[in-house]
């Protein structure tokens, strides 16, 4: 059965002070504190700005080399695609994060595409090229567009040894249902919350303002067990970061898995 690692999408949230982090803990010590409890973290700041080499080395040190890092790809590779995305932006993104690979702490690169990334011949060619260019770094792909749910996509991901990201998100038209598919030796699940009313109308904080009940997470256990039988490692991340709810649910999931 697969090794299961549970963590949160991002860790550096000021509003987590006095909820998770001690009120007087400086932000520079957030990662060290986080790594005392969790064995993996998904870095989301890398979507907004390309990490610096010194920054990546520092994060490894602050983590005490205790956690596996999943790094979300820069938006210029997934959301703002141009002719320069692969030849110019990808090397700029890939080079600074090499220390994670060198220290065997790179869990995966997360390629999260927007709902506007449709299943077209051009998009398929781009996706395949992007995955190949990241090799040998492990890659997992999250779609927000239901059009990509098809056997031909799963087959291609398997051929490229790229993981498919399973999601829990609101049951809205176009979004993905909670399907479980394994396309590499890495399983990956992201819990975004089910805040249906704010998904399109709220800002990023409101969109992910949701607290899962134990029953809702319990409903995922058979799917996780299925995935565990098909992979070597599973990452489970909670992206419902508002008010520290991701911490609550990550702890809850760890408890359910331990049972």
Check pLDDT > 80 for residue 110.
Answer: yes
pTM of the model: 0.96
CA torsion angle for 158, 40, 208, 250 (degrees, to 10)? 110
Contacting residues for 210 by C-beta, under 8 A, at least 6 apart:
192, 193, 194, 195, 240, 242, 245
Pairing between strand 139-142 and 3-8?
unpaired
**Cα–Cα distance for residue pair 214/198, rounded to 1 Å:** 22
State pLDDT tens for residues 75-106: 999 999 999 999 999 999 999 999 999 999 99
CA nearest neighbour of 78 among 93, 63, 64? 93
Q: Provide the CATH topology of domain 3-258.
A: TIM Barrel (3.20.20)
State pLDDT tens for residues 197-256: 988 887 777 899 999 999 999 999 999 999 999 999 999 999 999 999 999 999 999 999
For the chain, the average pLDDT equals 96
Polymer length of the chain: 259
């Amino acid at each position: 059965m697969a090794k299961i690692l549970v963590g949160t999408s991002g860790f550096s949230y000021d509003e987590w002070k006095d909820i998770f982090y001690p009120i007087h803990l400086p932000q520079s010590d957030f990662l060290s504190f986080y790594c005392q409890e969790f064995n993996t973290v998904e870095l989301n700041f890398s979507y907004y700005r390309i990490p610096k080499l010194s920054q990546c080395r520092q994060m490894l040190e602050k983590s005490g080399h205790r956690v596996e890092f999943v790094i979300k790809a820069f938006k210029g590779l997934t959301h703002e695609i141009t002719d320069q995305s692969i030849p110019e932006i990808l090397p700029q993104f890939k080079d600074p994060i090499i220390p994670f690979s060198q220290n065997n702490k790179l869990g995966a690169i997360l390629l999260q595409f927007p709902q506007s990334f449709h299943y077209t011949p051009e998009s398929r060619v781009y996706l395949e090229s992007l995955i190949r260019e990241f090799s040998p770094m492990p890659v997992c792909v999250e779609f927000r567009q239901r059009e990509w749910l098809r056997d031909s996509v799963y087959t291609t991901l398997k051929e490229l040894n790229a993981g498919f990201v399973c999601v829990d998100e609101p049951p809205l038209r176009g979004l993905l249902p909670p399907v479980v598919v394994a396309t590499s030796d890495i399983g990956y699940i992201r819990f975004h919350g089910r805040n249906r009313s704010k998904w399109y109308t709220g800002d990023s904080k409101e969109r992910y303002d949701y607290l899962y009940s134990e029953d809702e997470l319990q409903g995922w256990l058979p799917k996780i067990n299925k995935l565990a039988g098909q992979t070597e490692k599973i990452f489970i991340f909670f992206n419902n970061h508002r008010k520290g709810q991701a911490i609550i649910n990550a702890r809850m999931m760890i408890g359910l898995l331990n049972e």
